[in-house]
Amino acid sequence: MAAQSGAATGGSSPGTDRIGEEAFKVFLTEVKQIEKRDSVLTPKQQIERLTRPGSTYINLNPFEVLQVDPEATDEELKKRFRQVETSLFAMLQAKIATDLRYSRLHLSE
Whats the size of the chain, residue-wise?
109
Check: CB of residue 87 under 8 Å from CB of residue 47: yes
Q: What's the confidence (pLDDT) of residue 49? A: 77
Q: What is the pLDDT of residues 28-80, one digit of tens each?
A: 888 888 888 888 888 888 777 777 777 666 557 777 778 888 888 999 999 99
Q: What pLDDT, in 10s, does the model give residues 77-106?
A: 999 988 988 888 888 888 888 888 877 777
- Say how far apart CA 57 and CA 55 lie, in whole Å: 6
DSSP 69: -
Q: Residue 50 in contact with residue 60, Cβ under 8 Å?
A: yes
pTM: 0.39
In this prediction, residue 6 carries a pLDDT of 43
Contact 82, 90 (CB under 8 A): no
Residue 32's Cα: distance from chain center in Å?
Answer: 13
